[in-house]
Structure 1
Amino acid sequence: MPTLEQMSACMRVCQTLSNFYVDIHLFRYDAKREEIYILAGDTLGITIFPSGDWEFDEDEQT
């Protein structure tokens, strides 16, 4: 189950994506890692940690 901090951060991230009309393609909670992963737009990946901190995925394309 996601933490309250995680759920709050998730709502802020999803609202921001929505404000910029970015499609959210995947929303997943990984119970083993206790992380939320959001895939949005063409290549935007966001991980939300139990603390509520979040980060963009590293772009490994060259």
Structure 2
Amino acid sequence: MPTPEQKTQCFILCCWFTKLYLPINVVRIDQRTGNVFFLAGEENIIEIYPNGRWRYVQ
């Protein structure tokens, strides 16, 4: 299960990307690290850490 910080950050990022008319294609939790993997559009890959911080992977 995602942490409360990850849930909040995921919601904020979904709002940002949908304002840009980009589809949210994949939201998945990496079972090994506990990070949320987030794919918006075709090339915006984001990783959300358990503490709510995030970074672009590409």
Runs of at least 5 residues in structure 1 that lack an aligned partner in the other structure = none
Q: Structure 1-normalised TM-score?
A: 0.84
> Identity of counterpart residues, as a percentage?
33
For residues 34-55 of structure 1, the C-alpha deviation after alignment (integer angstroms, 9 at most, x for no partner) is 0101111121100000000001
Q: Which residue type is aligned with residue 34 of structure 2?
A: E
Secondary structure in 2 aligned to 1:39? strand
Bigger-Rg structure (1/2): 1
Q: Which residue type is aligned with residue 32 of structure 2?
A: K
Q: Structure 2-normalised TM-score?
A: 0.89
* Displaced runs of 4 or more, over 3 A: none
Q: How many angstroms does 1:31 deviate by?
A: 2.3
Partner of 1:17: 17
* In structure 2, distance between residues paired with 1:9 and 1:24: 14
Secondary structure in 2 aligned to 1:38? strand
Aligned length: 58
Q: Which residue type is aligned with residue 14 of structure 1?
A: C
